[in-house]
A and B are shown apart, each in its own frame.
Chain A
Amino acid sequence: MFDEILAHKNSIIHELDPRTRIISSLILSFAAALSDKFLILGIYFLISLALIYMASIDFFYIIKRLKPVFLFLLMIWIILPLTFQDKMFLKIPFFSFSKFLTLSIPGLELCAKITLKSITIVLIFVSLVATMTFASIGNGLHKLFVSDKMVFLILMTYRYISVIEHEYKKLLRAAKFRGFKPRTNLHSYRTYAYIAGMLFVRASNRAKRVYQAMVCRGFNGKFYTLDTFDSSKLSLIFIFIIFAITFFLVLIEAWI
């Protein structure tokens, strides 16, 4: 879980300041989400592909990563074209020739737009945000004046989710070693409920101990970070380019 595979690479994107990457990804994804013209959307899509290339991420890995998005899009492609009552694109015979399924043009257009937008946004986030470690994201958010508590919550969740996952695996292993095989019966449901319950108990105990350990080291509710990264020239240039491109694209869209 959360292996941060993409974070440990060397590329131009990896050299950028976390703040730059967070802001750039937000700007680009908002602009792409709010855009309504195919041409502009296409350009955003190309930009996202360029970013993926710049972050030197493997193409096949991206396809794998996009799987859940594809599933979501598939659902939309099935539902939307059939539910729009507008200009007809195609009639498909359904059961008998007297009944038809109608595919509407605006429905198909909307599907295509949603597809382009979602893939673009995911690609932007994979290339800019997923290429950071959680620690850097936390530091970036902290520098962007996100509240201390929020940043702390994110970092602690990340830190302990793997511990809780480990506990869950331990419990499940213990059950399996004593011959537990999940089936659709009350015993299985009860066992899973026990494991979930035990997980809550352990997580709560763990939280208590972590808090005690923090208090022992002088924690008083204020979270300090050691972030010392400076905004390099590269980061400034990058964010300027992103700003400029987005600005021009918004202008062009308003114009055409």
Chain B
Amino acid sequence: MNKPIIELENISFSYPDSNIKILDKLNFKVFKNDKIGIIAPNGSGKTTLFYTIMGLCKPFSGNIKILGKLVKTEKDFSFVRSKIGLMFQDADDQLFSPTVLDDVAFGPLNLGYSNIDACDIAKKILYDLGLEEFENSITHRLSGGQKRLVAFASVLAMKPSILLLDEPTAGLDTNAKEKIEKILMNLDISYIVISHEFNFINKITNKTVSMENGKIFKDDEVHIHQHEHIHKLGKLPHKHV
């Protein structure tokens, strides 16, 4: 049988100043080619789940296996971080280098690539995402959408085997959203996306899960359902296709 690339077993975690178990004996498996969407209310532990996978939050019980390897120590997690790319909710947290090119090349340089190679990788990624014109732009002067795309490029530049995306489209306009959708649909690596947008999740994922009380709930089936909506000339008889 296909082996999971991420396997979380009985993971429990709570923040130091709180009694609430944000992750409670959570079990979660991600397989190759999985494109998973997580839709869950705020504060349900989605971001904490990502941080736990990356080793930024240390669970007080349970095992984490990445690519079949048990990871526990900081050294183990530095391997994880070279294989899994995490895109943060706030792009400003991620873009700390002065210029866009510097920032995108930061990851490859840390992975031990030479200056020239790191520069080439960064340039290629920027070109692939249609951001080549921003190469020498100052990161903090970019617009919100551009920042998000550059942050995305900086994660992709690490050539990760798995992507974790924390609300990649929050606060973006339709154009920027469509761009991210397109990029994700053309990616051939596994990813997990946190989002509150049903349409977006629907388009780019092949599995959807939810979180409640520190646990993950699977929801593989698509449910047809009715809901109210509003638009111009809505009171005239009409059809939706």
Contact = CB atoms under 8 A, between A and B. Distances in A.
Given A133-B138, A162-B140, A218 B98 contact: no
Given A216-B56, A219-B110, A226 B101 contact: yes
B158 interface: yes
B184 interface: no
A225 B96 contact: no
Contacts of A4: 138
Contacts of B90: 209
Interface residues of A, number: 29
A201 to B, nearest CB: 14
A187 B106 CA distance: 46
B96 A215 contact: no
B110 A155 contact: no
A202 to B, nearest CB: 12
Contacts of A225: 102
Contacts of A206: 92-93
Given A133-B138, A218-B110, A219-B110, A212 B96 contact: no
B98 A213 contact: no
A129 B88 CA distance: 35
A146 to B, nearest CB: 16
A159 B98 contact: yes
Contact of A133 (B98, B118, B158): B98
Contact of A217 (B92, B107, B115): B107
A133 B100 CA distance: 14
B150 interface: no
Q: Determine the interface band of chain B, counting residues with CB < 8 A from chain A.
A: 20 to 34
- Majority secondary structure of chain B interface residues (helix, strand, loop or mixed): helix
B88 A218 contact: no
Contacts of B119: 226, 228
B78 A218 contact: yes
Given A159-B96, A226-B115, A228-B115, A135 B110 contact: no
A53 interface: no
- Majority secondary structure of chain A interface residues (helix, strand, loop or mixed): helix
A145 B54 CA distance: 34
A69 interface: no
A162 B110 CA distance: 26
Nearest to A222: B110
A138 interface: yes
A158 B96 CA distance: 10
B126 interface: no
A210 interface: yes
A225 B101 CA distance: 10
B210 interface: no
B138 A135 contact: yes
Given A216-B54, A217-B158, 6 more contacts: A159-B96, A209-B90, A213-B86, A213-B88, A217-B110, A218-B110
Interface of A: 4, 133-135, 138, 155-156, 158-160, 162-163, 206, 209-210, 212-220, 222, 224-226, 228
Interface of B: 51, 54, 56, 78, 81-82, 85-86, 88, 90, 92-94, 96-99, 101-102, 105-107, 109-111, 115, 118-119, 138-140, 154-155, 158
